Structure 1
Amino acid sequence: MATSHPEFDKHTTGTEVAEAFSGQIQGKNVIITGVGPNSLGEALALAIGSQQPANLFLASRTEAKVQQVADEVRKLYPEVSIESVALDLASQKSIHAAAAHIQGLTDRIDILINNAGVMLLKPEKTEEGIEMQFGTNHIGPFLFTNLLMPQLKNAAKLSESGSTRIVNVTSAGYQISPIRFHDYNTEGKEVPLDERPPDRVPAMFNMEAPGYNGWIGYGQSKTANILFAMYLSHNLAKDGIVSYGVHPGSIETGLSRSLDDNGNEVISKTNDFWKTADQGAAGMLVAAFDPNLKSVSEPSAVYLADCQFDELQPHATSLDVAERLFHLSEELVGMEFPL
């Protein structure tokens, strides 16, 4: 399987991708999380808004920030219906309220882009006591997505198979860590060898010692984004829904605002090409709208980077691990979601 535009690469902008897939965007109901000024969410909203979607639901923890972006999109594209949604992915109560709010406005969701995320080096926990990166980057989107599954399935019934999609923003940082089922709160507990960082991971990311390791927590959460996409694609193919995990590239956004000087220095050395937010949005738009991506050829063929498919490290390729993660996630939200 290949994308329809092999010429798209790390330099391609979201604006260019949206123009290329204008016909796939028109008339769609799209949800974007993590929307705020100078963010990937803003770049996504502007690119999609330019191509006449039916409705844009823009979600963020900070209402003033999402409203600022909504006003900007309305000014440029007044014909687009835009709804701002308060969504704190570190609060399951907030997630339930946000999903209910959207469900009260529409019975059809064509595209869900789970874009919001955090990166932390110091330990924090969600309202439910889950490690903040795992809770916000995976458990929050897991709950939000499954609560909205009836609306996604309704859209799929009315559309060509595979055009209803769930896009999870992941990161090449997934390579740092598998899912730590024996230590998902990243407390430094001893875990089996297959749950430890791979040998190739640089020592600065690989500290098997008591206590919190934010790099490992981040890597685990990004692996979870990929495995969640894998599980969804495998189990929702019968409903005409596909899901992808997308690495947007290295971008200077608010994601790293919680890092100290040392943490920012480490991040600065991970890539020699830094994208604009518009370039970072491009891969997500390929995953969401490329007509060539209406089915997944094999369970692990769900990962894109620089607008094209990329190979995954072994710890992010197992459907059995994806299923185990799905059930752990159900336990952590206190709900079951038979797909």
Structure 2
Amino acid sequence: MFFWTSPTFDPAKDIPDLSGKVIFVTGGNTGLGKQYILEVCRHHPAQVWLAARNVEKAREAVAEIQDQVPDAPIEILEIDLSSLASVKKAALEFEQRCDRLDILMLNAGIIMAPLGKTQDGYEVHFGTNYVGHALLTKLLLPTIEKTIANQESPDARILAVSSSGYQVAPKQGIIFESVKTTCAEFWNMTRYGQSKLALMLWIRQLSKLHPNIKCASIHPGVVDTELGIPRGVELSYMQIFMRWASLNLLRYVSVEEGVKGQLWATATNDLQSGEYYIPVGRVETLKAEWRDEALSNKLWDWTEEELKPYSA
């Protein structure tokens, strides 16, 4: 699952003109998100919203991008996906400042975080990678729908950066009884895998309920972004081994290569809504036990109930 042929997608030639498009990117101040913004800004979008927790790092990222694309039309938006109050505040600010949204790129994520919970009581990977993004999407959907309604040839997209790490989620899929604990009984990567599986299942269900929006999950490959390990965290022996394995056993790619899957999904006319893609632009089918409609429906209903206090 880790060894792919060289991608043929060329961002310089294969991304169409993005004039008039508004793009929203979470985690755009570093890694894949920053590279994604750089590449799309070369193709003249109307606006790109860089949403990130660290505003100072976001400003540094914008300056570096504008060194290469001087007229890059980037707006910075502060958001902490581990806080649903912060997510709601960011969505409201966006609505006040912009009345259009063509592409929502759910790029931000954490991995190998120490045991903990978000401000709202969710296991830290699940709350940050999944619940925060689900609320953000729910709050921005009216703007996306309005954008579609005002287009002669509507083409709105919601794209989520996923991971092959979903395969180390619990065999049952989502252990709902655990997601409001630290999930201490799980291996660190299992906690991460559960969050990524949830995001993938939710994206698939979103595509069914909103067939006028193209929705997909994108695995970028094993990318040289420090594996998302939080700064200042002392790594366990297992985490050190995982880092060594990623560098020495897997095909490790640069952010310039890794971002091509996200850019392909942004540009292609062949995107199949609801699918999970591996590099570059290849559909991969989830395991049978995770294609169970009952699990997707249960996750969707659970999520809707969880988000009610913030989405009224």
TM-score of the superposed pair, with normalisation by structure 1: 0.81
Question: Are the equivalent residues in 2 in contact too, given 1:17–1:282 (CA < 8 A)?
Answer: yes
Question: Shift of residue 320 of structure 1?
Answer: 2.9
Equivalent residue number for residue 242 of structure 2: 266
Question: Shift of residue 138 of structure 1?
Answer: 0.2
1:141-176 CA distances to partner (integer Å, 9 max, x unpaired)? 000111011111112223466620001111000011
> 2:249 aligned with 1:246, yes or no?
no
- Cα–Cα, structure 1 residues 158 and 219, in superposed 2: closer, same or farther, change >3 Å? same
Equivalent residue number for residue 204 of structure 1: none
Matches within 5 A, 1:219-298: 219-237=193-211, 240-254=212-226, 255-257=228-230, 258=233, 259-269=235-245, 272-293=250-271, 295-296=272-273
Which amino acid is 1:286 matched to? W
Question: Are the equivalent residues in 2 in contact too, given 1:91–1:140 (CA < 8 A)?
Answer: yes
Find 2:11's aligned residue among 13, 17, 20: 17
Equivalent residue number for residue 88 of structure 1: 80
Find 1:302's aligned residue among 248, 266, 275: 275
Question: Are the equivalent residues in 1 in contact too, given 2:159–2:215 (CA < 8 A)?
Answer: yes
Paired with 1:96 and 1:222, the residues of 2 have a C-alpha distance of 22
Find 1:113's aligned residue among 91, 95, 105: 105
Matches within 5 A, 1:193-212: 211-212=185-186
Question: Are the equivalent residues in 2 in contact too, given 1:123–1:212 (CA < 8 A)?
Answer: no
Question: Are the equivalent residues in 2 in contact too, given 1:113–1:167 (CA < 8 A)?
Answer: yes
1:306-328 CA distances to partner (integer Å, 9 max, x unpaired)? 11212222243233322211221
RMSD: 2.3
Paired with 2:139 and 2:266, the residues of 1 have a C-alpha distance of 20
Query: Which shows bigger deviation, 47-56 or 157-166?
Result: 157-166
Paired with 1:69 and 1:266, the residues of 2 have a C-alpha distance of 28
- Cα–Cα, structure 1 residues 152 and 10, in superposed 2: closer, same or farther, change >3 Å? farther
Query: What stretches of structure 2 of length at least 5 have no aligned partner?
Result: none
Paired residue total: 299
Equivalent residue number for residue 206 of structure 1: none
Paired with 2:147 and 2:203, the residues of 1 have a C-alpha distance of 18
- Cα–Cα, structure 1 residues 159 and 18, in superposed 2: closer, same or farther, change >3 Å? farther
> 2:128 aligned with 1:154, yes or no?
no
Q: Which runs of 4+ in 1 moved over 4 A?
A: 335-338
- Matched residue of 1:26: which SS? coil
Which amino acid is 2:175 matched to? R
Question: Are the equivalent residues in 2 in contact too, given 1:109–1:155 (CA < 8 A)?
Answer: yes
Question: Shift of residue 121 of structure 1?
Answer: 5.0
- Matched residue of 1:22: which SS? coil
Q: Identity over aligned residues, as a percent?
A: 28
Question: Are the equivalent residues in 2 in contact too, given 1:108–1:151 (CA < 8 A)?
Answer: yes
Equivalent residue number for residue 72 of structure 1: 64
Find 2:166's aligned residue among 138, 161, 174: 174
Query: What stretches of structure 1 of length at least 5 have no aligned partner?
Result: 1-8, 189-209
Question: Are the equivalent residues in 1 in contact too, given 2:84–2:310 (CA < 8 A)?
Answer: no
Question: Are the equivalent residues in 2 in contact too, given 1:226–1:303 (CA < 8 A)?
Answer: yes
Find 1:56's aligned residue among 35, 48, 53: 48
Find 1:26's aligned residue among 16, 19, 26: 19
1:79-113 CA distances to partner (integer Å, 9 max, x unpaired)? 33210010100011110111111111111100000
Paired with 2:127 and 2:112, the residues of 1 have a C-alpha distance of 12
Paired with 1:52 and 1:264, the residues of 2 have a C-alpha distance of 41
Equivalent residue number for residue 191 of structure 1: none
- Matched residue of 1:112: which SS? strand
Equivalent residue number for residue 183 of structure 1: 178
Equivalent residue number for residue 285 of structure 2: 311
- Matched residue of 2:142: which SS? helix
Paired with 2:295 and 2:152, the residues of 1 have a C-alpha distance of 30
Question: Are the equivalent residues in 2 in contact too, given 1:163–1:291 (CA < 8 A)?
Answer: no
Question: Shift of residue 268 of structure 1?
Answer: 3.8
Query: Which shows bigger deviation, 178-187 or 56-65?
Result: 178-187
Which amino acid is 1:263 matched to? Q
- Matched residue of 1:93: which SS? helix
Find 1:36's aligned residue among 29, 35, 60: 29
Question: Are the equivalent residues in 2 in contact too, given 1:90–1:126 (CA < 8 A)?
Answer: yes
